[in-house]
Structure 1
Amino acid sequence: MTKPHLRAISIDDTEQEVPLSPAQKKFNDLIKQIGKRRAGLAEWENAMADFQKKYVDQFVPLDRELQELNGKLVRRLHEAWPQKGLTKGERTMLSEMIADMAHRLLGKQDDPELKLIYNQHSASDYDREAEEELHEVKQVIEEMLDIDLGDDLSSATPEEIMQKMEAMLEQREQEEMATAQAREERRASRKKSPRQRAAEVKLESERIELSQSIRAVYRKLASALHPDREPDAAERDRKTQLMQQVNQAYEKNDLLRLLELQLELEHIDQNALNGISAERLKHYNQILKEQLLELDQELSHVELHFKQVYGMPPYARVSPKGIVRDLNKEMSWMREDGKALRAALASFADVQQIKAWLKQERRQGF
């Protein structure tokens, strides 16, 4: 069962003798803004599906191939390093390059042989450096956030430290919220002024009115679509699926979707939309504002989640149209890197080629 094609909701002034009121204009604007956010979410959903497929099918194998080629290059240069024909300066430069390349590779993979090569050329110890770096990260986090991560993280990865930090911050936030709630409850239990009581009554009354406005739309749809009242099996199945859509929209307070379904199923017409009372329109606009805010929050969450999953910094600018394009660019650069690495590996059996390569690297500012 496919969803019905939903017609656009708007208040039309072409058949009215007077121009639209500010509330009617606001209604139309909110509907338009919600439509843009919906389209944005749909665009993100489609773009992420394309990105994920390309990332798994093409990027991951390319990245793995580059790591293997770089690993071979480090080993080839390590073998060439003690050979005759290299000057002392060239050997020093080559040693620095081997250490740098090995260190970058060890950040992505645990390779005991690469660690030995790195240790030899850096005159250091990779495992000790990693342990010291973790200790520094832990210390900075504890000082910045005033928390104690404990002493059981000696063998943890930076990701595990961050996970523990996030768990502790979440626990602290829950405790602070519980404390604030308890404080608010104590404050609420004190005697309230007449003005405070009047404000609370007004707020509760508005909340009930908003709830009743959206419930009225829901009831009309539910009454017309109730499957138990339909004797025909096929029509009963159609109404059951439509009723599921109505229920989902009602649970989310999705007023626009309910109105769209009403219009599509001809339970309201354009004249009814044009004639929504000022009081009901006020309630509708408030519900639509909240709906728009929720969609904005959902869009922000989708973008942030994408950046977290693919290791991008929180401040990185991303868009549905750009993520696949940028991935294609990066893979193009990776293919060029792979071509250059294969050519280098094919020629590095000759020490003269290594000398020429070092000279070129020096010119490029290594």
Structure 2
Amino acid sequence: MTDTAILHIPGQDKPLNKKQKEFNLLSETIEALDRQIAELKHAYDEMLRRMPAELDPLVREYQGIRADIVNLWDRAYEAEHFRNAYQTKLSYLITENAYDLIKNHGLTDLKAVFNKYSVVPADVLLEEERRREQVRINDPAFLLESENEPAPDVAFHELSKAEQERIKAARREQRMDERIREAQQAKTTKSVRSVYMELVKTFHPDLETDDAEKQRKTETMQRITKAYQDNNLLALLKLQMELEQIDLSGLENIDKNQLSYYNKILRQQIAELDQEKILVQQQIAAACGLPYQHANSMVTVIARFNTNINELKAEIKNIRKVYANWLVPSQLKAYLKPFQIPEQPDDHA
């Protein structure tokens, strides 16, 4: 029996029964999931490899043009062409965009411009946000509170709706990252460990006194350990069957209880692999914006990543045209005249 052959009960003289058909379907599903997860991990690694050279420079370029527009608005505010209502709208646009660029994109040079139009300085607002970020929210939505954590400085229900949603989103992302790290660190699943431990009990060589048998068990344990480290349940089950002297054709004749045991282990492995796949899909979604349910192949993932790059290039081309138009005061006025300041909490204006 080879390590690469799929676990499959061959149909011979009579049709397969229900449990045998389930065994074949489960083993095929596991191999398909293993291939898909490996492909998705490769797609994610490929995105990470390409980001520094292909995506990040475009993001910096786009945000840099936004900063140029903020400075343009600042100059326009002082110009004689813009008064009263125009200045109110410019002040709003400057503070909103400058604060986003400072906070989320590290463009700290805009602090001076922001502080000209905000009652509260940028550093004060940033410190308040940093402090809120450290507050432990005592709310069931987060499921993050531990018995040893200090009481929160601000109750969750006392925060604004926008702040509640922002914190929830941040915590969800944090928890997703933690689960992904845990899945990467814990390379083996429960189903793999359970089969592995059964094999170790039987074939660990340390307590063997016969030299020839000890050598045989040592070689067997090396194969068992490799399958365990590869998180390869099917390889472990093949080893288990091989060591119990059950070949692939013999699977057709094993008793129902043994087959039920194998099917139970296979179902457990599928559930664990499904969860691992979702975690990788969510990781991909966070990196490229593809809905995680749609991240099913490397072709789809990389196509979305390429689309993001092309869309960002188009946005850069468009925002450059906008900036060039707004250098003409009449064009900027034409934009500002119908612009309405949205209703919002008075956070930093």
1:303 is displaced (CA, Å) by 3.4
How far apart, in 2, do the equivalents of 1:53 and 1:111 lie?
A: 25
Is the contact made by 1:213 and 1:280 (CA closer than 8 Å) also made in structure 2?
Answer: no
Residue 314 of structure 2 is matched in structure 1 by 336
How far apart, in 2, do the equivalents of 1:213 and 1:110 lie?
A: 54
From 7, 13, 26, the equivalent of 1:9 is 7
How far apart, in 1, do the equivalents of 2:303 and 2:85 lie?
A: 43
1:34 is displaced (CA, Å) by 1.0
How far apart, in 1, do the equivalents of 2:323 and 2:199 lie?
A: 74
Q: 2:301 is matched by which residue type in structure 1?
A: I
Is the contact made by 1:10 and 1:28 (CA closer than 8 Å) also made in structure 2?
Answer: yes
How far apart, in 1, do the equivalents of 2:313 and 2:152 lie?
A: 44
| Matched residue SS, 2:339 | helix
| Matched residue SS, 2:78 | coil
Q: 1:148 is matched by which residue type in structure 2?
A: P
Residue 69 of structure 1 is matched in structure 2 by 65
Residue 37 of structure 2 is matched in structure 1 by 41
1:318 is displaced (CA, Å) by 5.2
In structure 2, the CA distance between the partners of 1:333 and 1:358, relative to structure 1 (3 Å rule), is: farther
Is the contact made by 2:196 and 2:236 (CA closer than 8 Å) also made in structure 1?
Answer: no
From 317, 329, 335, the equivalent of 1:351 is 329
Q: Please, what TM-score do these two structures have when normalized by structure 1?
A: 0.62
2:267 corresponds to 1:289: yes
In structure 2, the CA distance between the partners of 1:262 and 1:279, relative to structure 1 (3 Å rule), is: closer
1:102 is displaced (CA, Å) by 0.5
Q: Please, what TM-score do these two structures have when normalized by structure 2?
A: 0.65
| Matched residue SS, 2:104 | coil
In structure 2, the CA distance between the partners of 1:140 and 1:332, relative to structure 1 (3 Å rule), is: same
1:99 is displaced (CA, Å) by 1.4
Whichever structure has more helix as a proportion of its residues is 1
1:131 is displaced (CA, Å) by 2.6
Residue 221 of structure 1 is matched in structure 2 by none
1:107 is displaced (CA, Å) by 1.7
How far apart, in 1, do the equivalents of 2:68 and 2:275 lie?
A: 47
How far apart, in 1, do the equivalents of 2:328 and 2:104 lie?
A: 30
Unmatched runs of 5 consecutive residues or more in structure 2 = 154-166, 180-193, 204-212, 344-349
| 1:182-221 to 2 correspondences below 5 Å | 211=198
How far apart, in 1, do the equivalents of 2:281 and 2:341 lie?
A: 37
1:65 is displaced (CA, Å) by 0.9
Larger Rg: 1
Q: Could you give the per-residue CA deviations for residues 163-201 of structure 1, whole angstroms, max 9, x where no partner exists?
A: xx98xx99xxxxxxxxxxxxxxxxxxxxxxxxxxxxxxx
Is the contact made by 1:73 and 1:341 (CA closer than 8 Å) also made in structure 2?
Answer: no
Q: 2:198 is matched by which residue type in structure 1?
A: S
Q: 2:295 is matched by which residue type in structure 1?
A: S
How far apart, in 1, do the equivalents of 2:96 and 2:50 lie?
A: 30
In structure 2, the CA distance between the partners of 1:311 and 1:38, relative to structure 1 (3 Å rule), is: closer
| 1:6-155 to 2 correspondences below 5 Å | 6-13=4-11, 15-17=12-14, 19-139=15-135, 141-142=137-138, 145=145, 147-148=149-150
Unmatched runs of 5 consecutive residues or more in structure 1 = 152-157, 171-206, 217-225, 230-239
In structure 2, the CA distance between the partners of 1:296 and 1:56, relative to structure 1 (3 Å rule), is: same
Is the contact made by 1:214 and 1:253 (CA closer than 8 Å) also made in structure 2?
Answer: no
In structure 2, the CA distance between the partners of 1:88 and 1:250, relative to structure 1 (3 Å rule), is: closer
1:88 is displaced (CA, Å) by 2.0
Q: 1:31 is matched by which residue type in structure 2?
A: S
How far apart, in 1, do the equivalents of 2:312 and 2:9 lie?
A: 53
| Matched residue SS, 1:141 | coil
In structure 2, the CA distance between the partners of 1:208 and 1:256, relative to structure 1 (3 Å rule), is: closer
How far apart, in 2, do the equivalents of 1:246 and 1:209 lie?
A: 7
In structure 2, the CA distance between the partners of 1:347 and 1:256, relative to structure 1 (3 Å rule), is: same
Q: 2:5 is matched by which residue type in structure 1?
A: R
1:112 is displaced (CA, Å) by 4.3
How far apart, in 1, do the equivalents of 2:240 and 2:195 lie?
A: 22
Q: Could you give the per-residue CA deviations for residues 117-145 of structure 1, whole angstroms, max 9, x where no partner exists?
A: 11222333222222333444444625663
